[in-house]
């Protein structure tokens, strides 16, 4: 019954939580989604540490959560979406030192790059993107509350959270502190006293490091406290969804729970914990030393960002991602088929097919929502949508549909695009070629002018492999995506 009503949430303007189910890392099960406040969702996703440009792992996680956010909005929820920016961190201090700059100008440069990258990837700007440097007061208030309640203690080098005071520690990850008493944290050596599982809330300043004043002396926040402080400031002591990739379950999110629940007393401080699968490159963890580290600007220089988004949208947000160039090349082809279908509908002025188009639309909408309501099951949703594509293509091939039916099908594709953000409604393929492709075309033109036809042919082949077919027309070189 619920599924029948699910399509009306957006139209009526209220959040339909009757049918949506999400996998909650906290309960390790799929649960019905009931937000704290009817029709509204508060959602926080851990943001990037901005010591360099964003990488394709970030692109994966923020695209996955962007689709979740947009689907919640599609269902009529009013979503407040917070993504923090970590602009104080060991990595920033180290990189600023190496580059002979300050963490502030390093962060500024990478934040503006990151914003541009989000836009290019079709990721809607979050409602708020708070930065650590702008929230020292709030961070210190949480640490003070923890100390006052007896959960924190001061040492020579900082202020620490006492894990043994919070018996529920480990409830998210299933990792209990006893199992990692020694040797698992860098901070272990620095302790004067306390448990090896205890973690830093405040790090007292070392020579030459950026620092902020506090009642424990100058210093900077520990790794986890910023998220407790900023999520609470923007979403309240208790909110609906907290996300990040699976690498953050332990210790970051476990520590966030300990800090927030002990400081504010609301349990659970987050109702649903959602974790995206990690992205690896050709089967290996991305790392500078392996030479397989791909930044977002590198990705965008090589591929159409919409093809990357189409690739990510084809996967379940919880599945591990293996990134390979050929997957994006294939995704570009898959997306081109959808855009060709849309183009066919835009040009359609054919014969009436009775209820065929209307039936196909309502079946596809129902199937799409049913699958997305099952913990945002995109692979299943695409199976439904691919059936719709075949149906419409066969109608187009048979000389249909009528203009009016085509308009309805386009309206449906636009509804879907409010979630996906990668379909094109009438734009020319030429405008969308990534820089790398435009450069190759220019290079081929040069070779032809210089009568180096072997090189020109080689470039044509290379473009073909990348999914672009060149057409030498009287008006000059054109191309189409294959
Ligand atoms: P970081 O910049 O490492 O603090 O990470 C920011 C966000 O990106 C967090 O939500 C991480 O879980 C996520 N993230 C980092 N690396 C990857 C990766 N390789 N694959 C997917 N998500 C990642
Ligand atoms: Zn966080």
Most informative mutation of 45, 58, 81 for ligand 1 (most atoms within 8 A of CB): 58
Q: Where does the pLDDT of residue 391 fall: very low under 50, low under 70, confident under 90, or very high at 90 and above?
A: very high
pLDDT averaged over every residue in the chain: 91
Q: What is the pLDDT of residues 5-19, one digit of tens each?
A: 333 344 444 555 569
Give SS3 for 364.
Answer: helix
Dig out the tokens for 312 from the structure.
């990510």
Taking only the tens place, the pLDDT of each residue in 50-71 is 999 999 999 999 999 999 999 9
Task: Specify whether the CB–CB gap between 51 and 92 falls below 8 A.
Answer: yes
Average pLDDT, stretch 170-181?
78
**pLDDT recorded at residue 429:** 47
pLDDT at 472: 75
Structure tokens at 461: 């082949």
245 lines ligand 1 (CB under 6 A): yes
Query: What separation, in Å, do the N-terminal and C-terminal C-alpha atoms of the chain show?
Result: 42
- Average pLDDT value for residue range 267-296: 93
Report whether residue 31 contacts ligand 1, using a CB cutoff of 6 Å: no
Query: Quick one: tokens of 419?
Result: 């979630």
Helix residue ranges, H only, 252-355: 254-264, 296-302, 305-313, 325-347
- Ligand closest to 132 (CA) is 2
Distance of alpha carbon 344 from its chain centroid, rounded? 31
Q: Which two tokens stand for residue 119?
A: 């836009």
pLDDT over 50 at 356, yes or no: yes
Residue minimizing CA distance to atom 5 of ligand 1: 48
Q: Which ligand is nearest to the CA of 257?
A: 2
Question: Spelled out in words, what is the top-level CATH class assigned to the domain 330-420?
Answer: mainly alpha
pLDDT by residue (tens digit) across 330-352? 999 999 999 999 999 999 999 88
The model's pLDDT over 235-279, given as tens digits with 9 standing for 90+, comes to: 999 999 999 999 999 999 999 999 999 999 999 999 999 999 999
Q: What is the pLDDT of residue 404?
A: 97
Ligand 1 atom closest to residue 61's alpha carbon, by position in its atom list: 22
Query: If you search the block for the tokens 């190496």, which residue do you land on?
Result: 98
* Phi and psi angles of residue 278, each rounded to the nearest 5 degrees, phi first: -80, 150
Question: In this structure, which ligand is nearest to the CA of 224?
Answer: 2
Confidence band for 188, pLDDT divided at 50, 70 and 90 = very low
Check the CA dihedral 395-397-402-406 and report its sign: positive
Contacts for 114 with CB less than 8 Å, ≥ 6 apart: 48, 50, 53, 54, 85, 296
SS3 238: coil
Kind and range of the H or E run holding 180: none
Q: Please report the pLDDT score of residue 11 as a whole number.
A: 42
Distance CA 238, CA 270 (A): 6
Write out the two tokens for 386.
Answer: 């691919």
Quote the pLDDT of residue 187: 45
Helix (H) or strand (E) holding 61: helix 56-74
Q: Is the CB of 312 under 6 A from ligand 1?
A: no
The angle, 0 to 180 degrees and rounded to 10, between the axes of the packed helices 325-347 and 403-420 is 150
Common-topology check for domains 9-299 and 330-420 = no
Residue ranges of domains in the chain: 9-299, 330-420, 429-481
Q: Looking at the structure, give the CATH architecture of the domain made up of residues 9-299.
A: 3-Layer(aba) Sandwich (3.40)
């Amino acid at each position: 019954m619920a599924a029948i009503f699910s399509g009306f949430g957006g139209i009526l303007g209220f959040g339909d939580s009757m049918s949506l189910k999400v996998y909650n890392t906290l309960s390790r099960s799929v649960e019905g989604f009931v937000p704290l406040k009817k029709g509204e969702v508060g959602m926080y996703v851990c943001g990037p540490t901005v010591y360099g440009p964003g990488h394709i792992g970030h692109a994966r996680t923020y695209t996955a959560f962007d689709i979740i956010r947009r689907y919640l909005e599609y269902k009529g929820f009013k979503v407040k979406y917070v993504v923090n920016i970590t602009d104080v961190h060991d990595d920033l201090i180290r990189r600023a030192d190496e580059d002979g700059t300050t963490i502030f100008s390093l962060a500024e440069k990478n934040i503006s790059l990151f914003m541009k990258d989000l836009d290019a990837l079709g990721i809607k700007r979050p409602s708020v993107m708070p930065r650590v440097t702008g929230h020292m007061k709030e961070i210190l208030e949480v640490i003070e509350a923890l100390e006052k309640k007896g959960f924190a203690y001061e040492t020579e080098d900082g202020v620490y959270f006492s894990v043994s005071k919070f018996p529920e520690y480990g409830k998210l990850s299933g990792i209990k502190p006893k199992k990692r008493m020694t040797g698992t944290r860098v901070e272990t050596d620095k302790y004067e006293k306390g448990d090896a599982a205890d973690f830093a809330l405040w790090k007292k300043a070392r020579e030459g490091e950026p620092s902020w004043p506090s009642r424990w002396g100058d210093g900077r926040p520990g790794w986890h406290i910023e998220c407790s402080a900023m999520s609470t400031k923007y979403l309240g002591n208790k909110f609906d969804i907290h996300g990040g990739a699976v690498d953050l379950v332990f210790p970051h999110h476990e520590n966030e729970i300990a800090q927030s629940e002990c400081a504010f007393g609301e349990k659970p401080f987050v109702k649903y914990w959602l974790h995206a699968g990690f992205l690896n490159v050709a089967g290996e963890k991305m790392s500078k030393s392996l030479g397989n580290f791909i930044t977002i600007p590198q990705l965008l220089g090589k591929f159409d960002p919409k093809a990357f988004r189409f690739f990510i949208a084809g996967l379940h947000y919880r599945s591990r991602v293996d990134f390979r160039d050929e997957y994006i090349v294939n995704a570009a082809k898959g997306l081109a088929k959808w855009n060709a279908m849309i183009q066919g509908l835009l040009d359609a002025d054919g014969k009436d097919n009775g209820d065929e188009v209307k039936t196909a639309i309502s079946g596809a909408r129902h199937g799409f929502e049913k699958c997305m309501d099952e913990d945002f099951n995109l692979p299943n949703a695409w199976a439904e949508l691919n059936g719709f594509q075949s149906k419409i293509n066969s109608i187009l091939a048979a000389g249909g549909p009528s203009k009016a039916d085509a308009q309805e099908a386009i309206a449906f594709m636009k509804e879907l695009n409010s979630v996906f953000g990668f379909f094109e409604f009438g734009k020319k393929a030429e405008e969308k070629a990534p820089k790398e492709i435009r450069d190759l075309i220019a290079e081929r033109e040069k070779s032809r002018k210089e009568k180096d036809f072997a090189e020109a042919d080689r470039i044509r082949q290379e473009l073909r492999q990348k999914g672009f077919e060149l057409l030498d027309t009287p008006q000059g070189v054109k191309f189409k995506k294959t």
